[in-house]
């Protein structure tokens, strides 16, 4: 129903698509309906008043021609929008690729400065170089996210299917995000059990876990706790990240996996973020055959989960062995 009302908001649709209102597909579709109705009524009156099959045939030809012309404009507009969308994804992809090289150079040069020439630098100079290095890393992450988004949008995100130790990669991610947690006064608890072997792309699963964990840390106001745990659900291993942070307002929870979406409270409290992490994570998890879901309460906290197929080997007698 809401979608139908939105479709009727022609001005909004035209603005969203960046076209004039009379080129918006819904407007053209509406026009086609109106013209069909007028044409049918006119045909009815013509056939009633003129007892001539020629006039009726001409009237029907005119109606068909008008419907054909409008239908053709709708297809043309939709094609144009699809083409522009493809061009946009290609542009993002090329621009991101080009940005990678200078960013790597900045990273290497700052690392050399800090490791080889640190003795010749005073405190202020060292701090400035460290800032450049951190900003460079932030930009590199953004560029990688944009590349992943472009790959997803073009259906080119290729995931490996390998045997992955989820416990080991979670441990690695925790090590990576520890400085962020310490800076934000957040405690990370990992209920570590036996190795959990799953099937997926190790690097991309690492990115998915990092997105969950860094969100838990970022959106935990002040002294917080972020807890990582595993559980088994049939043929799947479920990874859960619980925090006692800002939570997500109920009215905005339906948008949380949309590209570039950030909730109002996140925008107010935490300026760093792009709204791409969960969109990418959802695509990685679903393409790996798993599911993603969450529960959240504003000012109480959130729990984000994803499931991923457990690695299993078929035994000769048909049973399955999990290791
Ligand atoms: P980013 O964190 O870069 O903004 P994400 O895609 O990772 O992008 O998250 C999208 C939005 O979802 C965030 O901006 C925030 O509003 C909300 N969000 C995600 N995780 C949490 C969390 N653990 N607690 C509260 N809000 C969250």
**What confidence tens digit (pLDDT) does each residue in 74-99 have?**
788 788 888 888 898 889 889 988 99
pLDDT tens digits, one per residue of 105-157: 998 999 998 888 888 888 899 899 999 998 998 899 999 999 999 999 888 89
pLDDT band at 1 (very low <50, low <70, confident <90, very high): low
Stretch 23-37: mean pLDDT, rounded? 80
Look at residue 8 in the predicted model and tell me its pLDDT.
65
Pairing type for strands 301-309 and 292-297 reads: antiparallel
Q: Does the beta carbon of 248 lie inside 6 Å of ligand 1?
A: yes
Cα 259 to averaged position of ligand 1 atoms, centre (Å): 11
Mean pLDDT (the chain, rounded): 87
The closest residue, in CA terms, to atom 13 on ligand 1 is: 262
Q: Does the beta carbon of 137 lie inside 6 Å of ligand 1?
A: no
Q: Which atom of ligand 1 is nearest to the CA of 262?
A: 14
Asked whether residue 322 carries a pLDDT value surpassing 90, the answer given is: no
The contacts of residue 134 (CB under 8 Å, 6+ apart) are none
Cα end-to-end distance, the chain, whole Å = 48
Cα 173 to averaged position of ligand 1 atoms, centre (Å): 18
Q: Does the beta carbon of 220 lie inside 6 Å of ligand 1?
A: no
Q: Where are the beta strands (DSSP E) in the chain?
A: 162-165, 186-190, 197-200, 224-233, 236-243, 292-297, 301-309, 312-314, 320-322
The contacts of residue 87 (CB under 8 Å, 6+ apart) are none
Q: Which atom of ligand 1 is nearest to the CA of 216?
A: 23
Q: Does the beta carbon of 285 lie inside 6 Å of ligand 1?
A: no
Cα 138 to averaged position of ligand 1 atoms, centre (Å): 17
pLDDT tens digits, one per residue of 155-197: 889 999 999 999 999 999 999 999 999 988 999 999 887 788 9
In this prediction, what percent of the chain has a pLDDT beyond 90? Answer: 51
Which of 262, 279, 293 has the most ligand 1 atoms within 8 A of CB, as the residue to mutate? Answer: 262
pLDDT band at 58 (very low <50, low <70, confident <90, very high): confident
Q: Does the beta carbon of 243 lie inside 6 Å of ligand 1?
A: yes
Look at residue 77 in the predicted model and tell me its pLDDT.
79
- Rg of the chain over Cα atoms, rounded to whole angstroms, equals 28
**pTM reported for the whole predicted model:** 0.80
Higher pLDDT, 14 or 117: 117
Distance CA 58, CA 61 (A): 5
Nearest 5°: phi and psi at 301?
140, 180
The closest residue, in CA terms, to atom 14 on ligand 1 is: 262
Cα 174 to averaged position of ligand 1 atoms, centre (Å): 18
Look at residue 4 in the predicted model and tell me its pLDDT.
59
DSSP per-residue string spanning 108-148: HHHHHHHHHSGGG--HHHHHHHHHHHHHHHHHHHHHHHHHH
pLDDT tens digits, one per residue of 200-254: 999 999 999 999 999 999 998 778 999 999 999 999 999 999 999 999 999 999 9
Distance CA 281, CA 293 (A): 11
């Amino acid at each position: 129903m809401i979608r139908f009302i939105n479709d009727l908001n022609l001005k909004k649709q035209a603005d969203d698509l960046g076209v004039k209102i009379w080129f918006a597909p819904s407007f053209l579709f509406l026009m086609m309906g109106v013209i069909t109705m007028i044409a049918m009524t006119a045909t009815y009156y013509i056939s009633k008043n003129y007892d001539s099959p020629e006039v009726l045939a001409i009237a029907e030809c005119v109606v068909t021609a008008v419907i054909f012309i409008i239908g053709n404009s709708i297809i043309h507009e939709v094609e144009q929008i699809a083409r522009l969308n493809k061009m946009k994804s290609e542009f993002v992809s090329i621009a991101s690729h080009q940005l990678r090289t200078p960013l790597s150079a900045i990273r290497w040069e700052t690392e050399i400065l800090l490791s080889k020439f640190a003795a010749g630098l005073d405190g202020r100079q060292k701090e400035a170089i460290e800032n450049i290095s951190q900003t460079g890393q932030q930009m590199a992450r953004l560029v990688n996210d944009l590349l992943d988004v472009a790959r997803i949008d073009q259906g080119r995100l290729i995931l490996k299917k390998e045997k992955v130790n989820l416990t080991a990669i979670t441990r690695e991610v925790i090590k990576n995000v520890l400085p962020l947690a310490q800076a934000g006064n957040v405690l990370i608890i990992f209920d570590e059990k036996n190795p959990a072997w799953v099937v997926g792309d190790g690097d991309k699963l690492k990115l998915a876990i990092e997105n969950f964990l860094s969100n838990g840390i970022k959106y935990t106001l002040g002294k917080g706790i972020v807890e990582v745990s595993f559980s088994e659900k049939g043929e799947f291993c479920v990874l859960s990240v619980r925090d006692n942070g800002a939570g997500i307002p109920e009215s905005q929870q339906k948008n949380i996996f949309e590209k570039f979406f950030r909730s109002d409270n996140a925008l107010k409290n935490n300026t760093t973020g792009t709204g791409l992490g969960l969109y990418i994570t959802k695509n990685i998890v679903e393409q790996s055959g798993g599911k993603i879901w969450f529960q959240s309460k504003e000012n109480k906290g959130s729990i984000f989960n994803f499931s991923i197929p457990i690695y299993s080997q078929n035994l000769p007698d048909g049973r399955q062995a999990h290791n």
